[in-house]
Structure 1
Amino acid sequence: MAKETVVITGATGFIGARVLQLLLKRDYEVRIVVRSDGKAQALRDNPHLQGIERATFVVVPDLLSPGALDKAVAGADSMIHLASPIPLHGDIAPERQHDELIVPAVNATLRALEAAKKSSSVKRVVITSSAVAIISASILLPSEAPPSGRVVTGDDRVQEDQPPFPAAFAAYVASKVAALNASDKFMKEQKPAFDVVNVMPPYVIGPNLIAKTAAQLYEGTNAVFLALMTGRSDGSDPPEPGMAIHVDDVARVHVDALDRNKIKARNGVENCFLSQDIIWDDVPRIAAKKFPEAVKAGILSPDGRKRSKPGLSNSSKVEKAFGMKLKPLDAMVTDLASQYLELIKGK
């Protein structure tokens, strides 16, 4: 039986690199979309990506231009679309939020779907969405509490807020909502021959295959755990629902979702919200217990604090559908702290 060809965007990111690693391990024919030859070389040189020499690279400098992905997707069996803008470095001025976050998120998603439609060979597109696309922004940070007994599902939808936004995070949330809505609309109106699986994780935690320094581990959702482990989080931020997921589980769901016999898409779309409910203050306590010598050395601290709201997760649907047991908080903390401490030693 011929190997299936999978196109992947966003492989140079935290989640994307882990997805790519698993695709290579499972012996898929992988076609990697990168923005430059330099990005491709960085992946070729990454020691964690065994089998990368078998992959094909397609350089697409601008993922947002019409037809940008047509050549990369032509003849492929499926596609995993992870590329999306994330505000990593400080805030974004209100007048730039729409153009720098919302427009790229929406257009990148549409370019992927349009390319898949033009290629008659594509049968499934897996898209990385986010828990923030299906949970009300008022519940995520400010004082509003989740309704008693409320559980989030991938089929939930929230209002699409409009700019200006009070902060870059709020604009990021709006970008994920807008991209998900754009995908839903495309599938409903265009009725393509392929189907879509949306993967919706909250904070994704774990080793970062791309990071070469401890500082680079802070460039993404690992930052919230690291701030707790090192005592930099003092509990002064507004309370937030405790929700997180191990990066290995997110990668597995992305790759397992390629199996159309295993994961069925109802009416052309399947939505997978995967998360573990956690208590934020458990993070530094677990790290301190696992790595007491790092606490003595002043590298880690048990004193990090973050106020928790009730979680909104129920992982049973995803665990049953994918035949998996999600990794617990202990594994998230241990695996991330281990890499952090290794990188600290190597600086």
Structure 2
Amino acid sequence: MAGELILITGGTGLIGIKTIHTALKAGYSVRAAVRSQAKANAALATPTVKAINPGDKLTFVIVPDILADNAYDEVVKGVNYIIHIASPVIKGEGFSPDQYESELIAPAIKGTTSILSAAYKTPGIKRIVITSSEVAIIPWEEFIAKEVDTVFDDTYEIPFPAGPYTNPFEAYAASKVRALVATKEFLKEKKPEWDVINIMPSFVVGDNEMITDPKLISDGTVSAAFAQVLGGDSGWGAVPSTSIHPADIARLHVEALDPKIEGNQSFLAVSEGERGTRWEEAIEIVNRNFPEAVKKGILPNNGPAKTKRTKVDSSRTEKVFGFKFQSYEEQVKSVVKQYLGLLGEPVA
């Protein structure tokens, strides 16, 4: 309910900053857990936060190490809801095989169980919304390698992935499965007074106000769409045909706090229906919407991209929440507009 206090972890990432914006606009007060004061200052400097001018409705608490014992015990006190977004992500060169467990899997599990344990010890919490992932319920081989006719929805469950893992992304996927399993086990054992909703996004493509350097515009999964626009190769090979705008994920997280939505369930967040995203279509989208930037060479728009078909049905999410996810075209356009803005170029 508007006016109540939400703790948001991971609030300075691509999904997190949009979730802070969305929660404030909905009338909630937000306590954002960040790793440093510099991160808090960067969030306060984003145009949307400045435009909202939240005053004391947005506060920050520093949690430098989410793996520390009892890391969240103090910061959850007094909150009505928790939106837990913080989790390790793959960046740059990723991790070596001997780091998969320590850098990807253990932090994902420990971060989730830590927030659940802190909430369990704190009265007054009504609901926890956790950022999971589509890879928590889609088998790795069928998601990334095999093209199958299975249409995956949010009732799907997969076995515990014990490893060994062949690459960092497979280890990341395993971390999401194991964090989801840990959440279900916690609920079964502890039977807390609050419930949990898991939001399961696909590849996230959209503008990110935390990025102020145009050289970083293709950070994370945005590169699956935007590397080709800049004339490069994302290096990911054929990418599964699933994407979502961060604004839609943020909206799901905040609207999932509504008690009208039944708790202890999961919701997939994938746009474009079963047809899915066709990554290479970014070229045509940019040519049509930003012809002058392409003509001037600001957007080379000639890089390669390839789609691996993966059928995912998140229509139940759209039905329950009552809105349709933004298209791949809108996702690409939002990144291009931000990029051109950072360059000081006209958005046309």
Which residue in the other structure is 2:322 paired with? 323
Which residue in the other structure is 2:170 paired with? 170
| AA aligned opposite 1:275 | V
| AA aligned opposite 2:21 | Q
Aligned length: 338
1:53 aligns with 2:55: yes
- Show structure 2 runs of 5+ residues with no match: none
C-alpha deviation, 1:179, in angstroms? 1.1
Which residue in the other structure is 1:314 paired with? 313
1-side partners of 2:236 and 2:27: how far apart? 44
1-side partners of 2:202 and 2:226: how far apart? 16
Which string of whole-angstrom CA distances, capped at 9 and with x for unpartnered residues, describes residues 217-245 of structure 1?
A: 222211111112223238x8643331111
Which string of whole-angstrom CA distances, capped at 9 and with x for unpartnered residues, describes residues 265-319 of structure 1?
A: 2xxx110001021212212111121111122222324433333233422232111
1:48-127 aligned at under 5 Å gives the runs 48-49=48-49, 50-54=52-56, 55-127=58-130
336-345 vs 303-312, which deviates more?
303-312
Residues 44, 53 of structure 1: 8 Å contact kept: no
2-side partners of 1:226 and 1:124: how far apart? 36
1-side partners of 2:96 and 2:317: how far apart? 38
2-side partners of 1:70 and 1:52: how far apart? 25
Which residue in the other structure is 1:336 paired with? 335
C-alpha deviation, 1:208, in angstroms? 0.3
Residues 95, 168 of structure 2: 8 Å contact kept: yes
| AA aligned opposite 2:110 | N
Residues 141, 238 of structure 1: 8 Å contact kept: no
Residues 2, 28 of structure 2: 8 Å contact kept: no
Cα 1:246–1:237 change in 2 (3 A) is closer
Which residue in the other structure is 1:135 paired with? 138
Residues 127, 197 of structure 1: 8 Å contact kept: yes
2-side partners of 1:154 and 1:68: how far apart? 31
TM-score by length of 2: 0.91
C-alpha deviation, 1:161, in angstroms? 2.7
Residues 237, 307 of structure 1: 8 Å contact kept: no
Q: Identity rate of aligned residues, in percent? A: 37
1:274 aligns with 2:269: yes
- Show structure 1 runs of 5+ residues with no match: none
2-side partners of 1:300 and 1:281: how far apart? 15
1-side partners of 2:163 and 2:95: how far apart? 12
Residues 97, 164 of structure 1: 8 Å contact kept: no
Q: Secondary structure at the match of 1:273?
A: strand
C-alpha deviation, 1:164, in angstroms? 4.0
C-alpha deviation, 1:56, in angstroms? 2.1
| AA aligned opposite 1:291 | F
2-side partners of 1:341 and 1:73: how far apart? 39
TM-score by length of 1: 0.92
1:210-221 aligned at under 5 Å gives the runs 210-221=210-221
1-side partners of 2:68 and 2:190: how far apart? 20
2-side partners of 1:239 and 1:46: how far apart? 34
Q: Which 4+ runs in 1 deviate beyond 3 A?
A: 236-240, 301-305
| AA aligned opposite 2:262 | K
Which residue in the other structure is 2:39 paired with? 39
C-alpha deviation, 1:197, in angstroms? 0.5
Which residue in the other structure is 2:228 paired with? 228
2-side partners of 1:223 and 1:60: how far apart? 29
2-side partners of 1:205 and 1:81: how far apart? 20
| AA aligned opposite 2:102 | D
C-alpha deviation, 1:9, in angstroms? 0.4
2-side partners of 1:114 and 1:33: how far apart? 16
Cα 1:44–1:308 change in 2 (3 A) is closer
Which residue in the other structure is 2:256 paired with? 257
